[in-house]
Amino acid sequence: MRGLTHRWRWRREPPPSREGALVERVLAARGLSNPDEVRAFREPTLRALHAPGLMPNIDAAAERILDAAQRGRTIILYGDYDVDGVTGVAILYHTIKAIEPGARIGTFVPHRLEDGYGLNPDALRELHAGGAELVVSVDCGITGAEEARIARSIGLELIITDHHNVPTGDGALPEAICVHPRLPGSEYPFGDLCGAGVAFKLAWRLATRWAGSDKVGKQLQKVLLDLLPLAALGTIADVMPLVGENRVIASLGLRTIRATPFAGLKALIDAAGLADAKIDCEKVGFVLGPTLNAVGRLGHARDAMRLMTDAPPEEAIGLARRLAELNRQRQQTERTIVAQAADMAAHAGMTGTDRRAIVLAHDAWHPGVVGIVCSRLVDKHRRPVVLMNRQGGVCKGSARSIDGYSIAAGFAACADLLTKHGGHDMAAGLTMPDVNLDAFTERLTAHANEHIPIEWLTPSLEVDCEATLADLSAQAVMDLRSLSPFGRGNPRPVVFVRGAVLTTPPRTIGKDGGHLDLRLVQDVDGRRCFIRAVWWRAGSLAAQLQQNQRVDVAIEPKINEFNGRTSVEAEIRDIRIAAPTRATDRVRSIEAYNHG
């Protein structure tokens, strides 16, 4: 099916029948019909987490870290500069300090522009010269075979914890203890943990190895529970699929985030303006995450690292406020680059069907912000986007992709043109000499053209099941809330309503009339059912809709609570114009619904 803006497809073929409760049909569309599986999905518990000892090399890593902490060796936690890296480091920091309060432990986070992504050889040398004896990477390092050789050559012990794509080929893996759920030969049951998720598993294993039992004392048990909100932040901000262990971590972490004992997380929530708000995945993805990330984009992420590890309360408040101000600056910079990049892509002919990748570089683009701009252009043009800052003969930047096309594989096909690259299927970073830009653009575009079918350039919309407006009672829609947290891998439910009628002309709302306010009615077994609907960012489509028009609608049912009243409303995802099957249907839609 094709609507005005999307290709529609059933989430599961064939779609569920219209029998049973709405929430049961949505669960069936997501492959969940067994009562035990449904219960586990709707009521995630810690028991659903896999034993950490199943992860490759985690026991060796835990033993080396505990030994170093107990012997007073200097441990440096080396984290990536994004939310995932920062929260992952915080998890290990608080765990080691809880186990061995006197441990000599520090943190290091590379400067996004000066050091770049991943393990940096110069940074490792400086850390060693400063007394570091053991470096534990978090959310980076799995592609650092050369950096591991350097560490070994200078006598610096290295443990790598990561979740990014594992390199292949002889000698591709670092010669170090590597903790990663998807290493060759791994039997770990869930491969989609983020860096903070891997760090949480290592923290758990540190606790059990220190206790000498799979059961830990109440004090350490509380520490691990307190760390779940940090793991949830990393999981959600890194856009990991919210299924399996990620669903448990996100759900339980969000549930307890307000009770956090960590001064930095408390200050972050307050500075982001969420002191009185319900914190869900959207608040993490669009408010908390960007606020914590902002300093790493426009400054140095060590402030974020300090905030989430050892900053005392007063300092934490000041740091969090600075991060919030930087996030406001980041938003303005982002808007400027989005406008420039969109214009450049159009003029370069990169938005048509014959060129299925956007690759651009600009001297004035802030390299710490281009990754977010990539996401905006991916949403708009439905193709992989690579944006880079060009300075001193070097292009350096970020990429984002669409489901189905691995940008990491695209970069691998261009590896001889790149100085450095790394990442995973949906996001990656790269550096190259600017003289290679044209050749890289053409080769990546050719690779994208080969691997991206033309229909992928139109966004797809997965529909869970068919429903009538009568199905959308307040209780039924509230039941759908039990499927949260929503995000990648577990999106908000979308239902297909067939043959509704627009009872009024579409009304534009919002700044510059950018959105649509609609009224819909459907005849269900002789009963007229009405609903108010809003279609965000669809103001330009008003001319294609008219009063009395019969439409099929893909909607997200919502609960509106205002002044003590609860009502069901619809957030429209797309509309398909549906011609009446008989002339009498047309008469009925005009007369019965408007004059009945």
Containing 440, the helix (H) or strand (E) segment is helix 437-451
**In this structure, which CATH number among 3.10.20.30, 3.40.920.10, 3.90.1640.30, 3.30.1600.10 belongs to the domain 48-230?**
3.90.1640.30
Burial group, residue 276, by CB count within 10 angstroms (0-12, 13-18, 19+): exposed
Q: Does residue 585 register a pLDDT over 90? A: no
Per-residue pLDDT of 126-161, as tens digits, reads 999 999 999 999 999 999 999 999 999 999 999 999
Second-level CATH architecture of 348-457: Roll (3.10)
Burial group, residue 580, by CB count within 10 angstroms (0-12, 13-18, 19+): middle
User: Alpha-carbon distance 423 to 441, whole Å?
Assistant: 18
* Contact of 97 with 247, CB cutoff 8 Å: no
What residue spans of 174-243 are helical by DSSP H? 195-211, 218-237
Second-level CATH architecture of 7-30+464-595: Beta Barrel (2.40)
What pLDDT is recorded for position 219? 94
Computed over every residue of the chain, the mean pLDDT equals 94
| Mean pLDDT in residue range 491-505 | 97
Residue 469: CB atoms within 10 A of its CB come to 24
Residue type, 562: F
Q: Does residue 479 register a pLDDT over 60? A: yes
Q: Does residue 586 register a pLDDT over 60? A: no
User: Alpha-carbon distance 174 to 119, whole Å?
Assistant: 11
Look at residues 429, 396, 354, 401 and name the one whose alpha carbon lies nearest to residue 80. 429
* Contact of 347 with 362, CB cutoff 8 Å: no
Residue spans per domain, the chain: 7-30+464-595, 48-230, 348-457
Residue 289: CB atoms within 10 A of its CB come to 24
Q: Does residue 337 register a pLDDT over 70? A: yes
User: Alpha-carbon distance 550 to 495, whole Å?
Assistant: 17
Tokens found for residue 517: 């306010």
Tokens found for residue 512: 């510059």
* Contact of 520 with 503, CB cutoff 8 Å: yes
Q: Does residue 305 register a pLDDT over 80? A: yes
**Signed CA dihedral, 375, 378, 383, 387: sign only:** negative
User: Alpha-carbon distance 453 to 244, whole Å?
Assistant: 30
Q: Does residue 499 register a pLDDT over 80? A: yes
Contacts of 473 (CB under 8 A, 6+ apart): 568
Side-chain-side CA neighbours of 324 within 13 Å: the count stands at: 17
* Contact of 132 with 104, CB cutoff 8 Å: no
What residue spans of 301-357 are helical by DSSP H? 302-308, 313-347
User: Alpha-carbon distance 267 to 111, whole Å?
Assistant: 23
Q: Does residue 408 register a pLDDT over 70? A: yes
Look at residues 237, 144, 154 and name the one whose alpha carbon lies nearest to residue 197. 237
What pLDDT is recorded for position 65? 98
User: Band of the pLDDT at 593, cuts 50, 70, 90?
Assistant: very low
Stated pTM of the model: 0.89
The number of residues making up the chain comes to 596
Per-residue pLDDT of 96-109, as tens digits, reads 999 999 999 999 99
**Strand-strand pairing, 460-463 and 565-577:** unpaired
Peptide bond into 485 cis (omega under 30): yes
User: Alpha-carbon distance 151 to 135, whole Å?
Assistant: 9
**Strand-strand pairing, 134-138 and 75-79:** parallel
Torsion angle of C-alpha atoms 222, 223, 228, 233, degrees rounded to 10: 140
What residue spans of 459-564 are helical by DSSP H? 474-480
What pLDDT is recorded for position 1? 85
Look at residues 79, 91, 309 and name the one whose alpha carbon lies nearest to residue 205. 91
Which residues are paired to 533 by β-bridges?
A: 518, 570
Per-residue pLDDT of 19-78, as tens digits, reads 899 999 999 999 999 999 999 999 999 999 999 999 999 999 999 999 999 999 999 999
Residue with tokens 């193709």, as numbered in its chain = 383
**Strand-strand pairing, 495-502 and 515-524:** antiparallel
User: Band of the pLDDT at 579, cuts 50, 70, 90?
Assistant: low
What pLDDT is recorded for position 155? 97
